Amino acid sequence: MVRAGVFIGVDKSGDLQQLHDAAAGAKRMHDWALAQGMTDKSHARLIIDGPRKKVKPDQIYDAIDKLLSGAGIDQLIIYFAGHGVNNNRNEVWLLSDAPVNPNAAVNVSGSVEIARYGVVDQIVVISDACRVAPQGIQALNVRGVDIFPNPGGSEHAREVAQFFACGLGNTAAETTNPAVAAKNYSALYTNALLDALSGKQPSVLDVSATPGDSAQYVWPRKLADHLEAEIPKRVKSLNLQTTVNQNPDAIITFDATWVSRITGLAAPPPPPPPAAMVPPASPQREGGPRRRGGGAARGSRDTPTAAKLPTLKGVSERLASAAASGRVDAVNTQLDLAKLIDLPGTRGLIATVDDVAKPYGPDHFETQCGIKVRGARLVDFLLIHGRGELLGTAGDLLRIDSLNGKAASVLLRFEGNFGTVVAAIPEFLATVTVQDGDVVDVGYEPSANTWRWDLFQQRAVELRTLRAVAASSSQHGRFRLDQPDAAKIAKQMQYAKGIDPTLAVYAAYAYHDLRQMERIRDMAGYMRSDIGVALFDLELLGRRLVDKSVTANDAIVPFIPLLSQGWALLNANRVNLHPALEGIESTMRDSLWSLFDNAGLAKLSRALKSKEVR
C-alpha cells in the first residue's frame, strides 16, 4: 500500500493568542510518518509556521496536488493542528492570516467532499484544532477554501476516515475566550493519537492473519473507539475538564485497511479470561459497529478496553435508540439517566429534546397548509407562489393557501430582523422552533383535515420524539447513524418520511457522513413521488445538483440549503445559487437551520421576487 501525508501546524493565526504545541505536534506526526516508511518531501510533507514563516492555503493545495499528480497513492493522510472554529456545524482550520483574511482558512467539510470523489482510494483527515466559538474571535465570516483539486466527473465515492479532537457541539459549550483556549491548548489529542499509532497502547493493536507477518496493526474504528475513551481521561487527569471541551469525534467509512503498521514489538500476551474484563456500563455500546477481519491481513485478536467515561455522543445514541423503539417510557428513562451525567452540552441536549417533542398550536388550517412558530415572533413573510395570512397578534401562525404548484419557498422574518426560508408543503403544517435566536428544528406534520393525519396520529409521539432527538443531536454535535442499531433507527425515519419530510433531511446528513448516497437518492425519489418536490438538501447530498443551478422549474424547495452545514458543500459540488445571493454566507447567523440577518433577508427577498426560484 502506497501512503502519503501532509502535516500542517499553525501556532499563530492573525492576532489570536499564540499556541505553543501546534507546529511541534505536526512535526511529531511527520516524524511518525517517516517511521512508517513515507519518504520525506515526496510522500510526507511538513507545513508549519515559525518566525517570519506563514502557512497559506496555496501551500497546502499545492502539496496535495503534487502528491495526487504523482505515481499513485492508495492512502492519503491530512493532519492539522492549530486554531479552528465551528462555523454553522462545519470545521474551519485557521491559517496564518486568518481571521482577518476570511480565505486564509480551510473549509474541512468542502475539502472532504471533494476528496470523497477524487482519485485516492482512502483519505484520513485528522484535526487537532483548538476550537474557539466564532463569536469569541469575531470569525463568523471565515468560511475557508477547499484544499483538494476539484476535477469533477467521478460518481464513485472513496473511503474517508475523519478524526476530530473535539465534537462539533453547540458553541455555548465551547471556549469563547481565545486566551483561555490557547493557554490550555496542548496537542493532547495528538499525543494520545501518536501513542496509539506507535504501538504504545496494546489494546488498540491487532495481529496479522498473514503467515509470516509479525507486524501489528491499528485499524480506524478501533482507533476511534480508543480515542473516545482515552481523551476525556487525559483531560480529567490534567484537571482541565472545566476549562476545555474535548470529547473527540470520528466519522469512519472504512475499516478494512489499517492506518498504522508497527514492527519490532513483542508478541502480545493472550487476552485475560472473560471474568477479568470490565463489564459494560449498559447494553448499548457507545462506539460504532466494529468490523472484524475486514482485510486479508487482519487477525481476530480481541483485547479488553477500559471502561469509557460517559460522552455526549453516547447520550445521543441511547436517546435515538429509545425513540426508534416507539416506547415513550424508554425515552423518558434515557432522559432521566442523561440528567445525572455532568457533561458539557448534556443539559442543552435534554432541553432541546423536551422543547421540540412537545406539540403546540393548532393541528390544522382549513387551507390544509401553514406554518407554526414558537420561541420567536413572526412579523413578516414573503410567499411568491401562493398566498398567506398572519393570524392573530402573537406572531406564531401563518396560514397558507392557493399554492401555485406542489410546494413553495417562504421567507420568514422574525422580530429582531433575522429570519429563515422554509418550504410550504400542501397538506402539511410546518413547525419552526427557535431557542435563544437559533432555529433548532423545522418539522412537518400533516394537517388534521387531510388523509395523512390518521397515519401520523398512530405514531405522533414516536415521530415527534425521534425528530426531537435528531434535532438535538444535530444541534449539540451531529446526528449519526453508525451505532449498532442504526439500521432500525434509519428504517423508522425512512418509514416516516411521508408524514414528516424533515426526518429525511436529518437522516440524509447522517447517510452522507457514512457515504451512503443511494439511500439519500431513494429518499429524494420517494419524496418527489409523494409530495411532488424534493427538498434542497436531499438533492445536494444525493449529488443531483453537481454543476447545476436551481431554478423555478426544478421542483426543488427551498432554493438554498435548509441546514447550515449544507452551505460548506456547495462549492465542492459546484452548485450555482441565484445571482442575488452572492455573498449571502457572510450574513448567516450561527444556527442549526439556515438563519440570516437583515442583509441576508434582503438578498433572499430579491431572489424570490425575481420568480426565478421556487
> How many C-beta neighbours within 10 Å does residue 397 have?
18
Q: Same domain, yes or no, for 96 and 210?
A: yes
Instruction: Compare 583 and 483 and report the one with higher pLDDT.
Output: 583
Query: What residues make up the domain containing 404?
Result: 361-459+500-609
In a domain, residue 294? The reply is: no
The cell numbers describing 13, all together, are: 493565526
In a domain, residue 537? The reply is: yes
Does the CA dihedral 162-166-171-177 come out positive or negative? negative
Phi, psi of 79 (to 5 degrees): -120, 140
Burial (CB < 10 A; 0-12, 13-18, 19+), residue 515, is: middle
344 closest CA partner among 246, 251, 471, 472: 246
In a domain, residue 467? The reply is: no
Containing 239, the helix (H) or strand (E) segment is none
> How many C-beta neighbours within 10 Å does residue 147 have?
27
Q: Which regions of 144-296 does DSSP assign to beta strands (E)?
A: 159-164, 205-207, 216-218, 249-252, 260-262
CATH number at residue 216: 3.40.50.1460
In a domain, residue 595? The reply is: yes
The cell numbers describing 560, all together, are: 438554498
In a domain, residue 22? The reply is: yes
Q: Same domain, yes or no, for 227 and 376?
A: no
Q: Same domain, yes or no, for 57 and 163?
A: yes
Q: How many CA atoms lie within 13 A of 125 on its CB side?
A: 30
% of the chain at pLDDT higher than 70: 84
Where does a domain end: 226, 243, 264?
264
Cβ 248 vs Cβ 163: under 8 Å: yes
- Does the pLDDT of residue 11 top 50, yes or no? yes
Mean pLDDT for the stretch of residues 419-447:
95
Q: Same domain, yes or no, for 193 and 79?
A: yes
In a domain, residue 300? The reply is: no
**What is the per-residue pLDDT across 102-114, written as a single tens digit (0 to 9) for each?**
899 999 999 999 9
In a domain, residue 305? The reply is: no
Q: Same domain, yes or no, for 158 and 23?
A: yes
pLDDT confidence band for 132 (50 / 70 / 90): low
- Does the pLDDT of residue 35 top 50, yes or no? yes
Instruction: Tell me which amino acid residue 219 is.
Output: W
Q: How many domains does the chain have?
A: 2
**∠448-433-464 over CA atoms, to 5°?**
50
pTM listed for this prediction: 0.86
Distance between CA atoms of 187 and 403, rounded to whole angstroms? 55
Where does a domain end: 229, 246, 264?
264
Helix ranges restricted to H, 125-213? 134-137, 178-184, 188-197
337 closest CA partner among 355, 359, 317: 317
Helix ranges restricted to H, 390-516? 452-458, 460-475, 486-495, 501-513
pLDDT of residue 46: 98
Q: Which DSSP string do the residues of 90-120 spell out, in sequence order?
A: EEEEE-TTTTTSTTSEEEHHHHHHHHHTSS-
In a domain, residue 282? The reply is: no
DSSP letter at 560 equals S
**What is the per-residue pLDDT across 557-586, written as a single tens digit (0 to 9) for each?**
999 999 999 999 999 999 999 999 999 998
> How many C-beta neighbours within 10 Å does residue 109 have?
23
Where does a domain end: 204, 235, 264?
264
